Amino acid sequence: MTMLQERLDDGELLLWEPQLPGDSCGRVLFLTKEINDEFDPDVWTDPNVALRYANLEADFDRYVSGWTVPVGLEPYSKGDNAFMARIDPIEYGMWAIRSVAPKPALRVFGAFYQRDVFVALLTRCRKDLGGPGSREWANAREAAIAKWDCLFPSRKRLFGDELNVYFSEKALTV
């Protein structure tokens, strides 16, 4: 049994199922229980949160349903349209899904377990992260690393310099 299957069986991870059908795609997204719980409308205190999380659902669907994903391999020189981007320092193997609309924008911190398999570990509002290289970014990155290490104690995060290390298809560098 793989570590992923063990985490699914014990409820620490959940498999994201697309809300709408899309093209066939081999990408898989796992969420921590904490992220999944954020989709529970009973915990929302602001009615605008429903729209925010509906858009995050659409973003998650975009990843698993076969849409072409714009990817920023360089943390500080990526296109504004990057859907996913590596986080500095890149050798840590941490990434963020950039859910930008509507405001407030969200960042979903995570890492690749293997090619086409992303594990979403935690979310943060972009406005709470400060600027590039800020202590807030570092704290979020380190919290995500700690979460990974708890879930997968002996497993390294996927790391490489080329897009095809992470994606088998339908991804482009921006």
State whether residue 76 is helix, strand or coil: coil
Per-residue confidence at 107, pLDDT binned at 50, 70, 90? very high
Q: What pLDDT is recorded for position 144?
A: 98
Cα→Cα distances 72→23, 69, 76, 79, Å: 23, 10, 9, 7
Of 29, 86, 15, the closest CA to residue 62 belongs to: 29
The DSSP bridge partners found for residue 84 are 71, 97
Share of the chain above pLDDT 70, in %: 97
pTM for the full model?
Answer: 0.94
Residue 103 burial by CB count (10 A; 0-12/13-18/19+): exposed, middle or buried? exposed
Q: What pLDDT is recorded for position 128?
A: 94
pLDDT digits (tens, 9 = 90+) for 72-96: 999 999 999 999 999 999 999 999 9
Q: What pLDDT is recorded for position 82?
A: 96
Intra-chain end-to-end CA distance of the chain, in Å: 37
> Where are the strands (E) in the chain, listed by range?
13-15, 28-32, 69-72, 84-86, 95-99, 106-114, 117-125, 171-173
| Averaged confidence pLDDT in the chain | 92
Alpha helices in 14-166 (DSSP H): 33-37, 48-64, 135-151
Does the pLDDT at position 27 exceed 80?
yes
pLDDT digits (tens, 9 = 90+) for 1-26: 689 999 999 999 999 988 776 665 78
Residue 15 burial by CB count (10 A; 0-12/13-18/19+): exposed, middle or buried? exposed
